[in-house]
Amino acid sequence: MLNLKDISVTFNEDTPDEKKALQDIDLTLGEGDFVTVIGSNGAGKSTLMNVISGSQRPDIGSVEINQKNVTLLPEFKRSMFIGRVFQDPMAGTAPSMTIEENLAMAYARNKKRKLQKGVTKKRKELFRDYLLTLNLGLEDRLNAKVGLLSGGERQALSLLMATFTEPDILLLDEHTAALDPSRAELITNLTGDIVKRFNLTTLMVTHNMQQALDLGNRLIMMDKGQIILDIDGKKKQELTIEKLLHEFKRIRGEQLDDDRAILG
Amino acid sequence: MFFSMFGAVESGIIFAIMALGVYLSFRILDFPDLTVDGSFVTGAAVAAVCIVNGVSPVIGTLLAAIAGFFAGNITGILNTKGKINPLLSGILMMTALYSINLRIMGGQPNIPLLNESTVFNMFDSFWGQLGIDEALNGLLGSWGVAPLPSTWIVLFATIVIIIFVKLLIDYFLTTEIGLALRATGDNEKMIRSLSANTDSLKIIGLGISNGLVALSGALIAQNDGFVDLKSGIGMIVIGLASVIIGEALFGKKTIVRTTLAVIGGAIIYRIVVTLALRADFLDTGDMKLISAILVVVALVAPKFISTMKDQRRRQRKRTELNNKVKGAS
């Protein structure tokens, strides 16, 4: 489904601030894989997401989606088959437009946009059905401006908008990090449900180790621009936070230094 | 009095087309586009040159709108492909258009259109048969209104045009492309992650905006009977004034309402300016000053009023609480 080959990204090359954000990354995701990505700040998680989504072009290496090389495809074209939810709840929706208009924009993602009505009666019914699955009562507020919703509601809507056209790849970029614990749990549960329902190939970055263990069938750990741990299947189910920290120490010979990652 | 108000409403409606263009760039795309000062004259110049050379006024007016569309496109390309700041892109295009407009006008700083066929007088014989002028003027005359307007066709024609333009914009902004255009001004990162090409949307949006501005310029030239190279100066402020006054007076809850508000704002702006110019100590040279002051008032007044309201509300709550405490003791 997703194939990354020899991806390297270096920022500020040949200056004292040089930073190797990604070093020779190879990563393959099969159809329906749900991979959680952990790692301390600056490990290259976000750069990895940006390389896949197309907002960052790799220095070398190639990105393949569905056996098609998309390395040079600009972000907006790639997003026809990549859904993405950002950390900031404000980033995934248009605040001065209504819920149904936002959904209509997401609905048009994998088609060519035309001069036909974005919100039709038939689509309204469809949107209502999808919103029902969120259990937030948003289906009765189709005409409400999204700017009036709370952060949790907006993030749930962003998640729905990123997924209901069933993209080939779903990218979740710490999408629960800016929410309070109960809202974060709600979104985490929703994520699990939606990914399962549409059988989406998913890559989720998180700082919350427990979340990384609870969700998905595969876990990768990144450090200094490299993938240092890749665990899947039964082994992942047996994983605990202690074991993870131990693994990190064994591989790197040092403590994981990010408090946020440990406590998360 | 009636006569000058009549003229103000007439030209107010034509300027409303320009104001809707400014609304598209300034509000919908969140792009403060100064191309307007140039593209307004481009529209007027293209229409005038066509008419003087015997082209049908209808075709001349359409060509004017298309010329404005291209001017807007270039501003969009400067901003998106050239990565030039929006304000500067507009200023550069406006400056370039000044020379281009002079070229279009064959090097003359103004072109008279008197005794030429225009979109407003080409249907005169048909309009005369309807007898609407006589009926309305007869009615007004019986109320003692004088002097009477020579023809009502301009008013009727502009009302038809503005309704058509408004409905078209309202519809366009609810289409899939229209929604993406609105999102480009609202949350660009988001709509790009939903596979919309925001560069193209901006280029198209600025094209439509300046197409409307040029259309307005073409109609104003035909109504006034001349084109002046400098007639575009300060046009952006007039457009902004219309948008801001309209939104403040008539609200901006939905698109349908806001476009209507902008049209209302453009007409009210004209009426206010006309009234102001009747004062003895002001003359036509003060127009730009009046425009600027109007915009400042329209920007400051709503905030001032809501602060006052809020203060009164709090004052009332305090008195209520005081009364309650007194009543209890």
Total beta-carbon pairs less than 8 A apart between chain A and chain B? 83
In this structure, what are the phi and psi dihedrals at residue A66, rounded to the nearest 5 degrees? Answer: 55, 45
- How far lies B20's CA from each of A94, B157, B240, in Å? 22, 18, 10
> What residues of chain B lie within 8 A of the CB of A53, using their CB?
193
Query: Is the CB of residue A191 less than 8 Å from the CB of residue A215?
Result: yes
Residue A40's region, left for phi above 0, alpha for psi from -120 to 50, else beta, is beta
* pLDDT at position B3: 83
> What residues of chain B lie within 8 A of the CB of A124, using their CB?
none
Secondary element (H or E) of residue A260: helix A259-263
Query: Is the CB of residue A109 less than 8 Å from the CB of residue A161?
Result: no
pLDDT in tens, A215-232: 999 999 998 899 988 998
Question: Strands A226-232, A68-69: parallel, antiparallel or unpaired by DSSP?
Answer: unpaired
Residue A94 has pLDDT above 50, yes or no: yes
> Among candidates A123, A91, A170, A125, which has minimal Cα distance to B183?
A91
Residue listed under structure tokens 């709550």: B317
Q: Rounded CA gap, B167 and B128, in Å?
A: 28
Return per-residue pLDDT of chain B as tens, 329 residues: 788 889 999 999 999 999 999 999 999 999 999 999 999 999 999 999 999 999 999 999 999 999 999 999 999 999 999 999 999 999 999 999 999 999 999 999 999 998 889 998 888 878 888 888 888 888 888 887 777 788 888 999 999 999 999 999 999 999 999 999 999 999 999 999 999 999 999 999 999 999 999 999 999 999 999 999 999 998 999 999 999 999 988 989 999 999 999 999 999 999 998 888 888 888 888 888 888 888 888 888 888 888 999 999 999 999 999 888 887 76
* pLDDT at position B329: 67
Query: Is the CB of residue B195 less than 8 Å from the CB of residue A79?
Result: yes
- Could you give the residue ranges of the DSSP H alpha helices within B173-254? 176-186, 188-192, 198-224, 235-250
Q: Which residues of A109-142 are buried (b: 16+ CB within 10 A; e: fewer)?
A: bbeebeeeebbeeebbeebeebbeebebebbebb
Q: Rounded CA gap, A52 and A167, in Å?
A: 13
The CB density around residue A39, as the number of other CB atoms within 10 Å, is 28
* pLDDT at position A255: 60
A41 token code pair: 């700040």
Q: Rounded CA gap, B274 and B255, in Å?
A: 29
* pLDDT at position A247: 83
Question: What does R_g of chain B's alpha carbons equal in angstroms?
Answer: 23
Residue A264 has pLDDT above 60, yes or no: no
Residue A260 has pLDDT above 50, yes or no: no
B27, closest residue in chain A (CA to CA): A96
pLDDT in tens, A150-204: 999 999 999 999 998 999 999 999 999 988 888 899 999 999 999 999 999 999 9
Question: Strands A68-69, A60-65: parallel, antiparallel or unpaired by DSSP?
Answer: antiparallel
Q: Rounded CA gap, A37 and A50, in Å?
A: 14
> What residues of chain B lie within 8 A of the CB of A80, using their CB?
195
What share of chain A has pLDDT > 90, as a percent?
Answer: 67
B318: amino acid identity, one letter: R
pLDDT in tens, B52-111: 999 999 999 999 999 999 999 999 999 999 999 999 999 999 999 999 999 999 999 999
154-173 in chain A: CB under 8 A from chain B: 161-162
Q: Rounded CA gap, A231 and B212, in Å?
A: 60
Strand partners, B195: none
Residues in Cβ contact with A256 at an 8 Å cutoff, skipping those fewer than 6 apart: A40, A245, A248, A249, A262
Residues in Cβ contact with A103 at an 8 Å cutoff, skipping those fewer than 6 apart: A123, A127, A130, A131, A157, A160, A161, A164
* pLDDT at position A263: 44
Residue listed under structure tokens 């202690």: A242
| A84–chain B Cβ distance below 8 A for any pair | yes
* pLDDT at position B141: 83
Q: Rounded CA gap, B237 and A208, in Å?
A: 52
Residues in Cβ contact with A59 at an 8 Å cutoff, skipping those fewer than 6 apart: A8, A9, A10
The CB density around residue B277, as the number of other CB atoms within 10 Å, is 15
DSSP string across B18-69: HHHHHHIIIIIS----TTHHHHHHHHHHHHHHHHHTT--HHHHHHHHHHHHH
Question: What does R_g of chain A's alpha carbons equal in angstroms?
Answer: 19
Q: How many CA atoms lie within 13 A of B255 on its CB side?
A: 23
B320 token code pair: 């209520």
Best residue in B28, B29, B167, B194 to probe A by mutation, most A CBs within 10 Å?
Answer: B194
**Cα B82 from chain centroid?**
28
Q: Rounded CA gap, B23 and B239, in Å?
A: 8
* pLDDT at position B303: 87
User: In a 3-state reduction of DSSP, which class is residue A91?
Assistant: coil
> What residues of chain A lie within 8 A of the CB of B187, using their CB?
90-91, 93-95
Residue listed under structure tokens 């038809």: B160
Q: How confident is the model at residue A257 (pLDDT cuts 50, 70, 90)?
A: low
**What are the structural domains of chain B?**
2-120+135-292 (1.10.3470)
Chain B: closest CA distance from residue A26 (Å):
24
Higher-confidence residue of A88 and B138: namely A88
**Length of chain A counted residue by residue:** 264
> Residue A39 carries which DSSP code?
E
Q: Rounded CA gap, A80 and A83, in Å?
A: 8
* pLDDT at position B132: 83
Secondary element (H or E) of residue B252: none
* pLDDT at position A235: 86
Diameter of chain B measured on Cα atoms: 89
**Quick check: ipTM above 0.90?**
no
> What residues of chain B lie within 8 A of the CB of A104, using their CB?
176, 179
Q: Rounded CA gap, A251 and A244, in Å?
A: 11
* pLDDT at position A262: 46
Mean pLDDT score across all residues of chain A: 90
